[in-house]
Chains A and B, each alone.
Chain A
Amino acid sequence: MSDDTILVGAVAYDPKVVTIWEGIRAYFQDQGVRMDFALYSNYERQVESLLRGHIDIAWNTPLAHVLVQQRTSNQSLSLGMRDSDQDFRSKILVRRDAGIKSLSDLEGKTLAVGSRDSTQARILPLHFLRQESVDLDKVNLLAFDTDVGKHGDTGTSEIDVLSALHDGRAQAGAVGDLIWVLEQSAGRIDANVIEVLWTTPPFDHCMFDALPSLAAEKAERFKKALFAMDWNDPRHRHILELEGLKQWMPPREEGYETLRDALRQHGAAR
């Protein structure tokens, strides 16, 4: 294997991940950029591999991104993100029949939340609720720790939250706004039962991370090919659809500030 091959790590949270990365690799090859990928079963292992230099670049969740930055004293390189990774919000949903009119009404009620390593369905909504002075000790948490290690990527725990709300196991629930709007536009939300109580401030999602030691020329080749993918090109469209974006974007860091705060104050999860 020649040295100029860029090795990218990704977590296999779904069988489609293989299709996605085979597609991206073929696309990079068309662009004359040698790239290969390594799949991990969880983000913790992927982060360790990046730090040990086994891979050049890691496709990371926000939690993994912030952990990499912590472990490299903020020296790691951020290479790019999806358009859909910017300005995420979480939704605090309630059952209409639960009589919850304000955030303080959550006390004494059951709040369904996603996996303990899901940024959008657990870590940040709980962090923002604390900031809004909700006493979480008085809230009964119904936690769906499904797919731990995948950092909420599968969306399974958010779907669990929605079904707990629909069938009354919980009076309130936390999900990301992407799932909320996609499930609504697919007709899978009963608006007679569920409504939005509150929306969190915005935060950002996944990021391509690299160690500061990555050759500048490699990073440039990677970014150039990545940002040239085009939604209106049928050869690229399928991969972009599967990966859930329409356009790759340059990185920005301010969207991870609240997650850094949350981890500083409360550790990885409650």
Chain B
Amino acid sequence: MSSASVASIAVEGGDLSLGEGLLAIIRPALDLMEPGGVIAVLSCSRQTEEDLSTWCRIERHEFLGCEEISEGKFRHLIRRGSLSVPKGERETALNLPLRDGMLTAADVLAAVPMPERADPATGFAPRGARAEPGGPSFPYTLTERDTVAPPQIAELYDQAVGAQWDATRDIAWDKIRPLPAALETALGQMMTFLAENELSALYLPSKFISQIHPAYAEVAMFLATQLADEARHIDVFLKRARVKGGLGISSATSSRSLLSLLVLTDFTEAAFLLSVLGEGTFLDLLKFIERHAPDEPTFDLARRARADETRHVHFGLAHVRHALAHDDSLYSRLESSVRRRAATLHNVGGVPSAIQDALTILAARGSDPPSVRRGHESFRELLHTMHENRVKRLESAGFTREQAETLSRLHTPNFM
């Protein structure tokens, strides 16, 4: 047998047999070797030789032999085989920075950057883990960094996790007093509409999570926070309607508009239509409800929901901007997807009437004609503000002023 100097590491197996855990010492040592590398296993059991040689045969390592190095002490040499060698560099010597004792996802991402492309055969292996070859291919469709993961995704995730709140405890429900009947009905209708739209914002992004390659897990994790946000919004809006009063109607117009969102199959198109256009428009809607809130809890819940929605819009804008920078054909794809959606909604006249009325009465704080005149004025201003801000957002996503104007006018009158 060749001399012991060919072995680059030696492990001490004592008197352990294979059936007593010896492999838990040998396997990690072999894992440190490249194929062809040799380890020495020191053992005081002669018996070990036969079992080790059989085990090597099963695992396709080469058992080079055994020699007695001193009285009752043996050295077994094993050469690592070339099967089942995990791909990639071993992740070691990471030393993540702490900030006031905190460890952020952004710092993890900086230390372990996302690959440009990801291999569907690495399955659920976390980014940085070495994947053994031979695993099955997973049905991911989002396997390219520049179409799925904007650079600021980990910061957005960190912010989202830090900003979670609780619709059960964080709203001063005890401060809600009975409202005049017209106002209570209008508020119930608004909350119904909001919850309905929030439901679509819960369902649509969830379709894409299982398509995202885990190399870009931060995107899936951010979407998980977004889903938790939407769940909380559904919860808080329904509670506000029911704490005193009840729900209003769901219009066929809203349904048609939301179905045309739900059927989207492209992640970037969905981010654009839902987050940039839809949730963007909702920022102005929520601001309107804050301004005209009949009580402090209603103001508070609209403000909290708007803070969450601002993150969703940020993600949508970051996603679309990043994707646009890496794909020249995307502008026209997004434009035609807005046009396609508008075409399916062509006979939808305007804002669903129940919502027009609710917004008007809410802003009027009652139903006496002079107040309603004021309320109606506010509603018309809201539509104008929504359009202006949509144009700004579209411009900031990378569209020209002219394109932005056109797309904003084609946006659904259902707001989302």
Chain A positions within 8 Å of B, measured between CB atoms, are: 83-84, 86-87, 89, 177-178, 180-185, 187, 189-191, 194-196, 199, 231-234, 237-238, 246-247
- Which residue of the partner chain A has the closest CB to B59? A246
B372 interface residue per 8 A CB criterion: no
A191-B19, A246-B83 are known contacts. Are A184 and B51 too (CB-CB below 8 A)?
Answer: yes
What count of chain B residues pass the 8 Å CB interface test?
A: 21
- Which of these, B50, B60, B84, B121, contacts A234 with CB under 8 Å? B121
Give the residues in chain A near B57, CB-CB below 8 Å: 83-84, 86-87
Report the bound CA distance from A185 to B57 in whole Å: 14
Residues 14-63 (chain B) with a chain A CB within 8 angstroms: 17-20, 23, 47, 50-51, 54-55, 57-58, 60
Q: How far is the CA of A184 from the CA of B135 in the complex (A)?
A: 25
Name B50's closest neighbour in chain A (CB-CB): A199
A89 / chain B contacts, CB cutoff of 8 Å: 50, 54
Shortest distance from the beta carbon of A19 to any chain B beta carbon, whole Å:
14
Let me know if B113 is at the binding interface, CB within 8 A: no
Known contacts A177-B54, A194-B19, then 4 further A-B pairs from the complex at CB < 8 Å, ordered by chain A residue: A83-B57, A178-B58, A191-B20, A247-B60
List chain A residues, Cβ under 8 A from B20: 191
Q: Which residue of B lies closest to A185 (CB)?
A: B23
Known A84-B57, A184-B18, A185-B23: A232·B51 in contact at CB below 8 Å: no
With known contacts A189-B19, A234-B121, A237-B134, A181–B47 Cβ distance under 8 A: no
Residue in B55, B83, B135, B137 whose beta carbon sits within 8 Å of that of A181 in the complex? B55
Residues in B with CB closer than 8 Å to A184 are 17-19, 51
Q: How far is the CA of A191 from the CA of B135 in the complex (A)?
A: 33
Contact across chains for A196 and B84 when beta carbons are under 8 A apart: no
Chain A residues positioned under 8 Å from B84 (CB to CB): 231-232
Q: Does B162 contact A (CB under 8 A)?
A: no
A196 touches B50 (CB 8 A): yes
B13 CB, min distance to chain A CBs, angstroms: 13
Q: What is the distance, in angstroms, from A182's C-beta to the closest C-beta of chain B?
A: 7
Residue B133 lies at the interface, judged by CB distance under 8 Å to chain A = yes
Do A181 and B51 contact each other (CB < 8 Å), given the known contacts A232-B133, A234-B133?
Answer: yes
From B55, which residue of chain A is reached at the shortest CB distance? A181
Docked-complex contact A191 and B58, CB < 8 angstroms: no
Whether the Cβ atoms of B23 and A178 lie closer than 8 Å is: no
Q: Interface 1/0s, chain B 133-159, versus A by CB < 8 A?
A: 111110000000000000000000000
Chain A residues, CB < 8 A from B55: 181, 185
In the complex, what residue of chain B is closest to A232 when comparing beta carbons? B133
Give chain B nearest CB distance to A244 CB in angstroms. 9
**Contact indicator A181/B133 (Cβ below 8 Å):** no
Residues of B within 8 A of A247 (CB): 60
Q: Which of B47, B58, B83, B121 contacts A231 (CB 8 A)?
A: B83
A83 touches B54 (CB 8 A): no
Q: What is the CB-to-nearest-CB distance from A86 to chain B, in angstroms, rounded to a whole number?
A: 8
Checking B47, B121, B135 against A196 with a beta-carbon cut-off of 8 angstroms, the contacting residue is B47
| Cβ–Cβ < 8 Å partners of B50 in chain A | 89, 177, 196, 199
Q: Is the CB of B51 within 8 A of A233?
A: no
Cβ proximity bits B78-106 to A, threshold 8 Å, 1 near / 0 not: 00000110000000000000000000000
- Shortest CB-to-CB span from A233 to chain B, Å, is 7
Q: Which residue of B has the minimal Cβ distance to A84? A: B58
CA of A234 to CA of B138, assembled, Å:
12
Complex interface: chain B residues within 8 A of A246 (CB): 60, 83
B58 touches A234 (CB 8 A): no
Please, how many angstroms separate the alpha-carbon atoms of A177 and B19 in the complex?
A: 13
Q: Given known contacts A83-B60, A185-B23, A246-B83, is B54 in contact with A231 (CB within 8 Å)?
A: no
Interface centre among A86, A178, A181, A247 (most CB of B within 10 A): A181
Task: Please name the residue on chain A nearest to B20 by beta carbon.
Answer: A191
Question: Closest CB-CB distance, A228 to chain B, in whole Å?
Answer: 16
Interface 1/0s, chain B 368-412, versus A by CB < 8 A? 000000000000000000000000000000000000000000000
Q: Separation in Å of the A230 CB from the closest CB of chain B?
A: 9
Candidate in B19, B58, B135 with the most chain A CB atoms within 10 angstroms: B19
Taking the closest CB of chain A, its distance from the CB of B134, in whole angstroms, is 4
Report the separation of the CA atoms of residues A89 and B55 in the bound assembly, to the nearest whole angstrom. 12
| In the complex, the 7 A-B pairs of residues with the closest C-beta atoms, listed nearest first | A184-B19, A237-B134, A189-B19, A191-B19, A184-B18, A232-B133, A181-B54
CB distance from B174 to the nearest CB of A (A): 59
Shortest Cβ distance from residue B122 to the other chain A in the assembled complex, whole angstroms: 11
* Least Cβ–Cβ distance between B381 and chain A, in angstroms: 60
A196 to B47, CA, bound (A): 8
Return 26 A-B CB contacts under 8 Å, by A number. A84-B57, A86-B57, A87-B57, A177-B51, A177-B54, A181-B18, A181-B54, A181-B55, A183-B19, A184-B17, A184-B51, A185-B23, A185-B55, A189-B19, A194-B19, A196-B50, A196-B51, A231-B83, A232-B83, A233-B134, A234-B133, A234-B135, A237-B135, A246-B60, A246-B83, A247-B60
Q: In the bound complex, how far is the Cα of B360 from the Cα of A195, in angstroms?
A: 87
Residue picked from B18, B20, B47, B54, most chain A C-beta under 10 Å: B54
A199 CB contacts on chain B under 8 angstroms: 50
Q: How far is the CB of B86 from chain A (nearest CB, A)?
A: 11
Chain A residues with CB under 8 Å of B18's CB are: 181, 184-185
How long is the Cα–Cα vector from A237 to B84 in the complex, in angstroms? 10
Q: Is the CB of B47 within 8 A of A178?
A: no
| Interface hub of A184, A189, A196 (most chain B Cβ within 10 A) | A184
Q: Are A180 and B54 touching (Cβ within 8 A)?
A: yes
Given the complex of chains A and B, what is the CA–CA distance between A18 and B47 in angstroms? Answer: 39
Residue in B closest to A183 when the chains form the complex, CB atoms? B19
